Structure 1
């Protein structure tokens, strides 16, 4: 059964998180159009509600009314980030500046993910943060105004960069951040949306603090290219497919998947390129491609598609030749070890794939077929959606455990998949 028709995917998760944070820090009312209200972004919203921020949903618009950071209340000291690494890491930069002692917790998965990469630069700014075993959540934060620093990121991380930018915005003095490789720049664009001054030259970002109060704004959230990726790959692999995905964010720091698909000879066209708010968007036209070819994904490309690697690994199983993915060690500290989980689940259905220290190697089988198996997402939303796409290539039902993890980033995933399948 082929995929046909047009859909609009879920709003961008990274942008929605940031829109909620900046709206909550500003004094007044902000409208966020077409946000993603999956479990992760709701975790961010719920934390700010504990501080006295109000929100309401009107059609496709989230309206946030905040008393402003200076008027936050701190009656509740336990803040739950759920499964969301973005919530935990970005908010550390904010919470470290607040006049309160707060404890940031997460679920079982998040409580295993590394937080030292964030607390290290914040500690240099004067933050008082205590981690479990000096490594993970829970984090107890005794806040006070921080002092600006100059910091060179040891690894490319938009979350760490953003945490430092948020801290620097509230801190005393100048904060300078040096990036080794460009990472997603949604925080920089949000600074512009909320009229917060900063300077960026090449890979160096400078923020002068403190900058308060923040002016409320209006945010337009494009479709999430990381969510669109699953339908893009499905359309490329399933014979007869012809799909249009509307209003997808194509920010250069996030659009690596488009470059890789073109390198693999995939039929993808950007239609009606334009700006939606401050972000570049396009409608994506994807058609089934029989003659996909292998490629190498490495270096500066990795931060531009880090979340798409599991679904690109699936695509590589249908490409002629050997696809190599390397320099992707960051996958080991996502919701799961995505290198091992991706490799093991694809092996289970018959893919020729093996893991390496920093990625994976896939030998394509363009004419091959997958076999029925029992697989698991390991409670990782991106693995769950990748396996759902893989099921389209198997004649028998694929049994996927923990598929409900999709709620984290794309509650309507199965609904939209069924629309394209004509169900």
Structure 2
């Protein structure tokens, strides 16, 4: 699908934030790891959450759903022995389930997105699984990956946090179910610590005890624990909403986004403060973020590791700010669905933006007068890139044509629908 994004001067209206993809995938997993029936209210519907739903079913969970909720009868630490799993293009789902696959005699994760997830490395988790006595067959750390397990061992484990926090989260989900107690030491740095906090929050809600150091680099996990079936309510999603808020910020707008909790542990909640720092007229009260955009933004410097999945949307806003903005500590963006630094900035330049990259930085020389646009650009099969480029297209002089725009469904299937309801001029063309 192509998205033909036309210059749009004004956005106005109210939408509900979609449900959080990150929380939904985690609740689905702990529901499957519980022995009994868990209920999830307002689960997200995206390609990632659908991939987790499909995979836990394949592994033996019984999942039923209506318009409001989903019930999961879990398999505990005894997943069904299946030969293959297809996680689609969902990196977090793959990494979380690689540890759970260690309870199976042999399971292969197939590669159906060779140009996206198929390029992403998973060596750091593979090394730790091998420490646990698990045999892993892989292609230089990439898919397809075959895990030969059955009886993973706990004990003293190490995992690198340099590339992604998802490897650590994967181990935190699995190790409480082992016979032995475990200790996990995170080597080097740990990216996206706030997202590890979400993992710990969800695990604790299921009655699992994990002792974490204050810096989140060391963990003590008692073995022989059981996930308890519970009821969970999924909160609104800040990463997806960040693009809506950025679109409102760069246009003349009066936009409200509902269901965004002020007390949320989502790191991307930081976009509220980022946009305020950029001079956006914004309030956040009673779960409602209200933006009154006037197209006048100012540059700033921001530590992107605090809001990883919203960096691209904030960069899109900074394209139109007065002055030079810098988003630093963002090297982990290079290891997502695409290289979200090089690939994204390549497309921004095509649109007329003045941007530079460093290994772990994005630098934007703002153009308050707008950018030219008038070109076709490549989304690199990446939902976050699609959403951010749409923001730029709305403020461009000649609009943008975004190829492969249907991949936005990975996290936010209703993204274009929501923008259209606010008055955005976008034409969607099926190919």
Match of 2:365 in 1: 363
Which residues of structure 2 form unaligned runs of 5+?
1-8, 426-431
Q: Using the alignment, how far apart are the partners of 1:93 and 1:368 within structure 2?
A: 47
Residues 345, 286 of structure 1: CA spacing in aligned structure 2 closer, same or farther, 3 A cutoff? Answer: same
Q: 1:127 aligns with which of 119, 131, 134?
A: 134
Does residue 201 of the first structure (1) align with residue 206 of the second (2)? no
Q: 2:331 aligns with which of 310, 329, 332?
A: 329
Moved more, 58-67 or 224-233: 58-67
Answer whether contact 1:20 1:45 (CA < 8 A) is retained.
yes
RMSD in angstroms over aligned alpha carbons?
2.0
Aligned partner of residue 255 in structure 1, secondary structure: helix
| Deviation per residue, 1:185-227 (Å, 9 max, x gap) | 1111111111011123312453434344321111111111000
Report how many residues are paired. 406
TM-score, length-normalised on structure 1? 0.90
Does residue 54 of the first structure (1) align with residue 59 of the second (2)? no
Q: 2:265 aligns with which of 251, 274, 278?
A: 251
Match of 2:411 in 1: 409
Does residue 292 of the first structure (1) align with residue 297 of the second (2)? yes
Answer whether contact 1:157 1:183 (CA < 8 A) is retained.
no
| Deviation per residue, 1:119-165 (Å, 9 max, x gap) | 122222333222113x1111111112221324364427331220121
Q: Using the alignment, how far apart are the partners of 1:12 and 1:409 within structure 2?
A: 9
Does residue 33 of the first structure (1) align with residue 41 of the second (2)? yes
Moved more, 83-92 or 171-180: 171-180
Answer whether contact 1:148 1:168 (CA < 8 A) is retained.
no
Q: Using the alignment, how far apart are the partners of 1:152 and 1:202 within structure 2?
A: 17
Aligned partner of residue 10 in structure 1, secondary structure: coil
Q: Using the alignment, how far apart are the partners of 2:33 and 2:159 within structure 1?
A: 26
Q: CA deviation at 1:260?
A: 2.0
Does residue 175 of the first structure (1) align with residue 177 of the second (2)? no
Q: Using the alignment, how far apart are the partners of 1:251 and 1:173 within structure 2?
A: 28
Aligned partner of residue 11 in structure 1, secondary structure: coil
Q: 2:242 aligns with which of 223, 229, 232?
A: 229
TM-score, length-normalised on structure 2? 0.89
Aligned partner of residue 73 in structure 2, secondary structure: strand
Answer whether contact 1:129 1:141 (CA < 8 A) is retained.
yes
Please list, as runs of the form range in 1=range in 2, the aligned pairs for 1:303-318 lying within 5 A after superposition.
303-318=305-320
Please list, as runs of the form range in 1=range in 2, the aligned pairs for 1:9-408 lying within 5 A after superposition.
9-70=17-78, 72-74=79-81, 76-96=82-102, 98-106=103-111, 107-108=113-114, 109-133=116-140, 135-143=141-149, 144-151=151-158, 153-155=160-162, 157-171=164-178, 172-178=180-186, 180=189, 182-184=193-195, 185-204=197-216, 205-239=218-252, 241-249=253-261, 250-251=264-265, 253-272=267-286, 282-297=287-302, 301-408=303-410
Q: CA deviation at 1:21?
A: 0.6
Aligned partner of residue 146 in structure 2, secondary structure: strand
